[in-house]
Amino acid sequence: MMKFRKAKLPTIRIPNRLRKTGLPPGTLIFTGRKKVEETHVTLVQFNPEGQIFEQHLKEKLPIAEPGSLVSWYDIRGLHNVELIQAVGERFNIHSLVLEDVLDTQQRPKFEEHEDGIFLTIQALSFDKENLEIKMEQVAIYAGKGFVISFQEDEDDLFPAIRDRIHSGRGKIKKRGADYMAYALADNLVDHYYLLLDQIENVLDELEEEVLS
C-alpha cells in the first residue's frame, strides 16, 4: 500500500503580545516580546555628492554628522523603552507616536504630523522548514532630514536599500527623507510578492508529492 506524507499547508504565526489596559494615552510600554539582548542602532548618512557615513552603536543613539541630506536611524530591538523615549526627545516625536511604535499590535497606518510622517507596516517572511509565515511590525518616522525605522528583531530587512545607497543606484541619494521613508516601505511590500512566490513553490511541491 502506498503511503503519503501528510501534506501541511503554510500557517501564519502570530506572536503573543502584552496588552495594555487602563493606561493613559501616550504611556510608553513595549507590548512585544524581547527578541534581542541589546538594542542595536545603525546610523547611515548620505548626500548627493556620494559621501556616506555609518555608525553602529548598542543601547545608545548616535550623533549625526552635519551637512548630510538624509540621516537614517535603523533601530532593532524595542524593549529598551528609555532609548525609544530618548529618540522622541531628540527628534521631537509625540508620545502618542512612540506609543504606537512600542505597541506591536498596530494595524497598518499612515499619519501626517506637523513635523513629519509616520507609518506602520507588517514585514512578512516565510520559514520554509516549518512552513510558517512570520509577521513583524515595522514603524517608520520621517522628519526634516532624517528617517527612523523601528523593528523588534535583529534581522536586516533592508539589505536592498543599503545596496542602493552604497552603489548610488536609483533616486535615494538625490531625494529627501520622505522619499527614503517611501523606499523603506516599498521594500517591505516587495517582500509580499516574494512571499507569494515562495508559498506557490511549496504548494507546487505538495501537489507533485500527492500525485506521484
Q: What amino acid occupies position 72?
A: W
In the structure grid, which three cell numbers stand for residue 60, read together?
545608545
Per-residue pLDDT reduced to its tens digit, 77-123: 999 999 999 999 999 999 999 999 999 888 899 999 989 999 999 98
What does the pLDDT read at residue 126?
75
Q: What is the CATH number of the domain that holds 202?
A: 3.30.460.20
Task: Report yes or no on 77 lying in a domain.
Answer: yes
Tally of domains in the chain: 1
Any domain includes 4: no
Q: What is the pLDDT of residues 45-60, one digit of tens each?
A: 988 777 889 999 998 9
Q: What average pLDDT score do residues 118-132 get?
A: 83
Half-sphere exposure of 188 (CA within 13 A, CB side): 23
**When comparing pLDDT for 15 and 72, which is higher?**
72
CA distance 68 to 66: 6
Whether 22 is covered by a domain: the verdict is no
Quick one: pLDDT band at residue 10, thresholds 50, 70, 90? Answer: low
The model's confidence at residue 1, banded by pLDDT at 50, 70 and 90, is very low
- Domain residues for the domain of 130 are 33-211
CA neighbor of 144 nearest in space, from 181, 169, 190: 181
- Lowest mean per-residue pLDDT among 126-130, 142-146, 170-174: 126-130
pLDDT by residue (tens digit) across 172-211? 888 889 999 999 999 999 888 877 877 777 777 777 778 7
pLDDT for 3 beyond 70: no
Residue 5 domain-assigned (yes or no): no
DSSP string, 43-75: EEEE-TTS-EEEEEEESSPPPPPTT-SEEEEEE
Q: Where are the beta strands (DSSP E) in the chain?
A: 11-13, 40-46, 52-58, 70-76, 109-113, 116-127, 132-143, 146-151
Q: Pick the more confident residue, 106 or 15.
A: 106
**Average pLDDT, integer, range 126-141:** 83
